[in-house]
Chains A and B, each alone.
Chain A
Amino acid sequence: MSTDLQDLLREGLDRLTAGTTVPDGLVGRAQQRNRQRRIKIRAAIAASTALAAAAVTVSLTATGSQPSNAPVRTQTIADIATRTEQALAATADHGNAIQVIRQSGSGVPFKLSALGMGGSLEHPGPIPVLPRVLSTVTAQYVTSWTYHGLYLQEGFSAAGRLVFVNSTGGLTKRQSSENYGAAYPVRVSWRTVIRGASGLGGLPALSCQNVGPSGYPSWQASISKSLSCGLYYLSGRQWVDGVDAMTLVSRPRLGGGLFRSTIWVNPATYLPVRTSLVTLSGPGRGQHLVNDFRFLPPTEANLAALHAAIGRAAIPAAFRRLHLNVLLLAVAGGM
């Protein structure tokens, strides 16, 4: 029997799609998922940018504060929570510091994700999804720099090779800013102008019921709220990055029991040294994400390190330019 493949395919697809009806509530479900997505977007941005001003607190509180090996046995979680809330609140008023966060994960690659910013981008165009060429780019860890409005993400391979750079500014100020970067393995670059942050509005206020370990709406806010709601207990002390840190472990009711979160707090500054998030159930079960925080005073040496990072992010002119209409951010496992 000899027949034509295309005709058979056409007839097969006709049969497959025959008698189709649209299920009820499809638009409503799409709207609901968009609302959930906006919360994730806000959390991702907050996780990367919200502690920009923390370094000044380090410099202010480090002088005259207790040494890092001071005894804390008499401290209660309430005392630590209060001091940490105060330290975090102070970071919101100052920005004269270089914040560096190293984000890594156990078996969780970091991908560039296109974040929807409905109606806020300069170039509405025909690209509705993350360009395919970018979807293949993954990093094993990401270093984020924030300093005076500059925000720079660097994605590295396991061998320490620069995989992508991604820079965004002004996200929290509802003003125009730009997102630009490059993916080195595929030799492409992009630049997107963002007007305002209208796509991120209308999100729910933080409460003891909805506060989670994701950094929404900012790390300061989520950590402070979680501590004030009594969602962490003092587990003891552990050495983290040379700091004999106070270890705060989440109670099961944080995040509905889906996560186990740990915050290591510097006893000298009462700022976080590290946060850890383990997903206990759901699609991401077993994922382990770690954020290591550093708040550097703007000394010549630290500024030189920042400039070196900016220098690494130089984008060769020969790279192919992508015309994007989305905001890109690196997130664990993609979004």
Chain B
Amino acid sequence: MGGTPTGADLERLLAERGTQLMRVAIALAGGREAGEDLLQAALERLLRKPRQVDQDTEGYLRQVLYNLAADGWRRRGRWRQRLPLLRAQASQASAQASDGADVVDLRDALVRLLRQLPPRQRAVIVLRYWEQRTEAETAALLGCSEGTVKSAASRGLRQLRELAGAQANLGFELAEGTS
């Protein structure tokens, strides 16, 4: 779908591809409620600038999602207010892990730690390691250089390891992955 999307076009797009888009938004935002807000913000932007949609609508909507997330579209608002809570949740998760939690707890704990990364690093991590995008694709989607993507991914992973390591009770070692 290209050209100028209307509200009805977007309703159809969400009916067909909404689940996938919502998953991306949740992964980028770090939670369901925040993901819903992010997707709505992306829809608002797309409706405001319909003539910029010179590619397929889903592709453009995804690009807007990535960029809004990378720019911390509301980092001065609720995101910051939630950080202390998220940190507390992460600490609680680590304590649970120390009691012999299984791998599932570790995955959830890592996702919570992911929320503590700066927005751009978080977006890069999601694109590179969840959506399995190449560095070139990630750079094109975020409008930055491949070098920026590479360094953001490297820093993001390093920070995740440090955050996890700082919580000594997390109870597992994180192998150096290829980035």
Name A residues whose Cβ lies closer than 8 Å to a Cβ of B.
Answer: 1-17, 20-23, 26-31, 33-34, 37, 116, 118-119, 124-130, 132, 135, 199, 325
Majority secondary structure of chain A interface residues (helix, strand, loop or mixed): helix
Q: B48 near A2 (CB under 8 angstroms)?
A: no
A135 cross-chain contacts in B, Cβ below 8 A: 71
Q: B67 near A128 (CB under 8 angstroms)?
A: yes
Which residue from A10, A31, A116 sits with its C-beta under 8 Å from B49? A116
Which residue from B11, B45, B107 sits with its C-beta under 8 Å from A116? B45
Q: B129 near A10 (CB under 8 angstroms)?
A: yes
B133 within 8 A of A: no
Q: A29 near B107 (CB under 8 angstroms)?
A: no
Interface size on B, residues (CB 8 A): 61
CB-contacts of B36-54 with A (<8 A): 36, 39-41, 43-45, 47-52, 54
A22 cross-chain contacts in B, Cβ below 8 A: 14, 18-19, 21-22, 39
B150 within 8 A of A: no
Q: How far is the CB of B105 from chain A (nearest CB, A)?
A: 10
Name B residues whose Cβ lies closer than 8 Å to a Cβ of A.
Answer: 7, 10-11, 14, 18-19, 21-24, 26-27, 30-32, 35-36, 39-41, 43-45, 47-52, 54, 63-64, 67-68, 70-71, 73, 103-104, 106-108, 110-111, 114, 120, 125-126, 129-130, 143, 157, 160-161, 171-175, 177, 179
Q: B129 near A6 (CB under 8 angstroms)?
A: yes
Which residue from B47, B52, B130, B160 sits with its C-beta under 8 Å from A30? B47
Q: How far is the CB of B153 from chain A (nearest CB, A)?
A: 10
B157 cross-chain contacts in A, Cβ below 8 A: 5-6
A3 cross-chain contacts in B, Cβ below 8 A: 103, 106, 172-175
Q: A21 near B19 (CB under 8 angstroms)?
A: yes
Q: How far is the CB of B86 from chain A (nearest CB, A)?
A: 13
Which residue from B14, B49, B108 sits with its C-beta under 8 Å from A26? B14
Q: B27 near A13 (CB under 8 angstroms)?
A: yes
